[in-house]
Amino acid sequence: MNRTTRTGFRAATPLVLLIGGGGLAAATWTNGDHGFAIGLIGFYLIAAIAAYLWSGRDSDVAAIMRVGGDERQRRLDRDATSVSGLAMAAAATIGTVVQTATGQHNAGAYALIMFVGGVSYLIALAYLRIRH
């Protein structure tokens, strides 16, 4: 493992966790499940603290969490993002097929995920092709 310098924005990942978790907790509170909302606040607060502490380490994952890695670490992040996108596309496709095959007519959520993924891929491909 290569030693990395600690550059980047250490609070990047914790902020994403706090904003996303806060939004989910607010939606849960609004829905009337106050106990679960408080639990979500606690969970995301602990996760953000753990992410902040982890992002201060000298490792590839910490550098990616700080959004300040070198070229190799950015490539690792890009490749992991690609694999997770393929996994989400496969799950959405399988979900749509299973929902449709079992006669359930509510496959729309899976189909929407597939639509958003396909459109965002085409836009990104066009943008990157023009940019490079």
Q: What are the tens digits of pLDDT across the range 3-39?
A: 545 677 889 999 999 999 999 999 999 999 999 999 9
- Collect all residues with Cβ–Cβ distance below 8 Å to 51 and sequence separation of at least 6: 13, 14, 17, 65
Contact 4, 70 (CB under 8 A): yes
pLDDT tens, 34-83?
999 999 999 999 999 999 999 988 888 888 888 877 889 889 989 999 99
Among positive and negative, which fits the CA dihedral 57, 62, 65, 71?
A: positive
15 to 56, 63, 118: CA distances (angstroms): 15, 16, 28
Give the closest residue to 64 by CA, choosing from 74, 72, 54, 56: 74
